[in-house]
Structure 1
Amino acid sequence: MEKKHILIICQYFYPEQFRINDMAFEWVKRGYKVSVVTGLPNYPEGKIYDGYGLFKKRKETINGVEVYRIPLIPRGNGKLGLVMNYFSFPFFGFFWNLFTKIKADEVFMFETSPMNQCKVGVAYAKKHKVPCYLYVQDLWPENVEMITGIHSPIVIKPIERMVRKIYKGCTHIWGTSPSFVTEIRKYVDEAEADKVSFWPQYAEEFYEPLPKKEHKGFNVIFTGNIGQAQGLEILPEAAKIIRSEGYKDIRFTIVGDGRARHSFENSITDAGVWDLFEFAGRVQPTEVPGYLAGGDAAFISFADDELFAKTIPAKLQSYMACAMPIIASAKGETARVISEADCGMCSDIGDAKALAENIIAMRKQSDARLRELGENAYAYNKEHFAKRKLMDEMDNYLN
């Protein structure tokens, strides 16, 4: 049977680093024709990448994927720029829908904020009478409330109506955690509850255990975006407590960058623990396993918001695929996975003292126990988050 033509709608795509890149490339390998409608790359720095623009590289082919870039306003560094960015993609997407000649068999939407980007995919699917699939990475309106602090019905009710309309226009919806499925179903008609299901994220093949590199002390590594949602300010607080307990060999390596890096660095300054921190900056995802090989444990944290209790972050699968013991400042879904896998230690969000105690306890573990924790993480990831198995499941829907 001839494989179908998938049209991916996502505001972000390569060279921006999101997991939809790997999914698109994998579908090409599996024989699908894949087209992507996306924006001009600007995440996370907030400015258009070099080589791209209104009149540059608006159409290109990447690893067999046909990529079409519609205009948008870059995120910038302030809230106004972010709002303009969020509205610009669906605005220009409306005009793209009027004139596009792309004839796809089905639409797949990879939804990270903003959710209103999905208006473009739902409109295309309705116009061309094709199935429309949605993979939810960020819950709305919860994400808006968390980021803005706005809870007024005047703002939130219109967003809820938009979300319901988007969900109504979808053939099937996936959430990245069981809790996400529960939340999504609140905005779906009861008769259509079965069209929402759990499909976890996976780690790309290059996330794998590498031989350990020699390093000094006990090295805790964080990789990924440094944003408000990560709540990394807890780490300097814990480092200060660790130092007061007399442990001088524990170090923290931060691999990544983001909008909240400046405030995170200020929190390190305020705690007076700069000598315990090292920043590697932003690196390519393929380089991350090499950095993890120079660490003893990998770190995950969240800002203090109930939304994150429902989240299984993509970096958890990446850490587990690299056989890393995990230290987390988290609750809910993340804490559940770490407990089920027996692959690390988890303290409550915002509890710096408990986090410091867990880091010290992890540092005291024998090399054999650290290896065991890493092996447990790897085994759990292979059983529950294996790429091949998950993509095979997705094929059943797409065909």
Structure 2
Amino acid sequence: MNDMCEEWVKRGHKVTVVTGIPNYPMGKIYEGYGLTKKRHEIWHGIEIYRIPLIPRGTSSIGMVLNYVSFMLSGIIAGKIKRIKADVVFSFEVSPMTQVLTGISFAKKLKAPHYLYVQDLWPENVVTVTGISNPVVIKPIDKMVDYIYKNTDEIFATSPSFVEAICNRKVAVDRKKVHYWPQYAEEFYQPLEGKPVEEIPDDDSFKIIFTGNIGNAQGLQVLPQTAELLKNENVKFFIVGDGRYLEELEQEIKQRNVQNQFVMIPRQPARRIPELLAVCDAAFLSFRNDELWTKTIPAKLQSYMACGMPIIAAAHGETARIIEEANCGVCCPVGDAEKLSIRIREMRELNLDIIKENSRKYFCDNFDKKKLMNQMECYFR
């Protein structure tokens, strides 16, 4: 979203962002920010207003309080803040409650409301929390109906998301729902593999994962896979942090595969291409849930933009793209034995051809300029 805002500024638009005080993913307010610090700033030509919220902490209750506090602050801000805009654009990663902030602003400004859906609700709530009680889900479902009804144009990150939105019980007009995939920022480029401090220059087959380390990412499969590949000279490089990190490290220790893993702390996004460049393949996975079959993760575009061969424990949209692009191998979610077989297969392939396929598919389907031109047409 930051990159999209910067691009709109470059194209001559005035951009104002209403967001929360930063506290994701570790649940603590970032140093230098607070209720009385850096609540209003200009960043790369973008005016930013940070509204109050309760940091998410590490518990489910904290996460709920975080969601509710931002929603209430946002609705109030929409009614009282003196901001001018021709279009209100809501960027919806979970929680979807935040979109009520965008609608509040759109109604006050009498401006069209555009929505970019990256997480399906209430499906995401059921998948992530395990809560399926109608007492909880029905009100969320009604909120989602309200949001779609009060949105002029809806953009979704996968064809499956488009179908899911259009086929809800309360019908959504297909004419206003569009497939608009995520792109990777322009600094995601294929690079020459130059030595980096974190990744040893040895003859191992190097598989890298980058990003949030949560339960939804399905990394539980890796320690067991490493155990099956103990004699194969394969190493896994895990770059990032998140709620599941400690548990993952414990599982690695329990299976006695510490020498096959290198844990690298969270890195600035611009460093990721150089880390990818010294590895042989990039890994992504999900938990075994129907929702993830409909999802195209942003990580996939980032990997492909850097021309990486991809190893995935995934199905649905992710598997479809990897197969169409001929840029890697897939196995069923959570199946360590099949994953170990696919890794062995990948080692025997011509990786140079796979790298070319990966980058070409990205340029043909996820190019930033093409996609931002499309979005600007909707603005006009």
Superposition TM-score, scaled by structure 1 size? 0.92
Question: Any idea what SS the aligned residue of 1:266 has?
Answer: helix
The residue type paired with residue 160 of structure 1 is: D
Aligned equivalent of 1:7: none
Aligned equivalent of 2:198: none
Q: 1:66 & 1:58 partners in 2: Cα distance? A: 11
Deviations 1:46-73 (A, max 9, x none): 1000110000000000000000000000
Query: Unpaired runs of 5+ in structure 1?
Result: 1-19
Question: Residues 220 and 334 of structure 2 are in contact (CA less than 8 Å); yes or no, is this contact kept in structure 1?
Answer: no
Aligned equivalent of 1:222: 209
Deviations 1:264-283 (A, max 9, x none): 11221222111100011100
Q: 2:317 & 2:173 partners in 1: Cα distance? A: 25
Aligned equivalent of 2:304: 320
Q: 1:255 & 1:190 partners in 2: Cα distance? A: 41
Deviations 1:10-29 (A, max 9, x none): xxxxxxxxxx0000010000
Q: 2:62 & 2:27 partners in 1: Cα distance? A: 8
Aligned equivalent of 1:75: 56
Question: Residues 79 and 108 of structure 2 are in contact (CA less than 8 Å); yes or no, is this contact kept in structure 1?
Answer: no
Q: 1:191 & 1:211 partners in 2: Cα distance? A: 47
Q: 2:11 & 2:315 partners in 1: Cα distance? A: 37
Aligned equivalent of 1:280: 264
Aligned equivalent of 1:334: 318
The answer to whether the aligner puts 1:364 opposite 2:348 as a matched pair is yes
Superposition TM-score, scaled by structure 2 size? 0.97
Aligned equivalent of 1:240: 227
Q: 2:52 & 2:337 partners in 1: Cα distance? A: 47
Deviations 1:49-105 (A, max 9, x none): 011000000000000000000000011011111110011101111221221110111
The residue type paired with residue 290 of structure 1 is: E
Aligned equivalent of 1:108: 89
Aligned equivalent of 2:119: 138
Question: Residues 238 and 353 of structure 1 are in contact (CA less than 8 Å); yes or no, is this contact kept in structure 2?
Answer: yes
1:1-399 equivalence runs, <5 A: 20-187=1-168, 190=171, 192-213=173-194, 215-216=201-202, 217-243=204-230, 246-247=231-232, 249-365=233-349, 369-399=350-380
Question: Any idea what SS the aligned residue of 1:33 has?
Answer: coil
Question: Residues 75 and 85 of structure 1 are in contact (CA less than 8 Å); yes or no, is this contact kept in structure 2?
Answer: yes
Q: Which moved more, 1:355-364 or 1:382-391?
A: 355-364
Deviations 1:272-296 (A, max 9, x none): 1111000111000000001001100
Question: Any idea what SS the aligned residue of 2:238 has?
Answer: strand
The residue type paired with residue 333 of structure 1 is: E
Q: 1:95 & 1:135 partners in 2: Cα distance? A: 22
Q: 2:101 & 2:372 partners in 1: Cα distance? A: 24
Q: Which moved more, 1:280-289 or 1:121-130?
A: 121-130
Q: 2:78 & 2:184 partners in 1: Cα distance? A: 33
Query: Unpaired runs of 5+ in structure 2?
Result: 196-200
Q: Which moved more, 1:386-395 or 1:177-186?
A: 177-186
Deviations 1:126-173 (A, max 9, x none): 222110000001110011001111111111111000000001000000
Q: 1:190 & 1:168 partners in 2: Cα distance? A: 9
Question: Any idea what SS the aligned residue of 1:67 has?
Answer: strand
Question: Residues 140 and 160 of structure 1 are in contact (CA less than 8 Å); yes or no, is this contact kept in structure 2?
Answer: yes
The residue type paired with residue 318 of structure 1 is: S
CA displacement at 1:239 relative to structure 2: 0.7
Q: 1:148 & 1:68 partners in 2: Cα distance? A: 30
Q: How many residues were matched structurally?
A: 374
Q: 1:191 & 1:325 partners in 2: Cα distance? A: 38
The residue type paired with residue 338 of structure 1 is: I
The residue type paired with residue 223 of structure 2 is: P
Question: Any idea what SS the aligned residue of 1:61 has?
Answer: strand
Q: 1:40 & 1:192 partners in 2: Cα distance? A: 35
Deviations 1:348-394 (A, max 9, x none): 101110001111111233xxx10110110000000000000000000
Question: Residues 164 and 188 of structure 1 are in contact (CA less than 8 Å); yes or no, is this contact kept in structure 2?
Answer: no
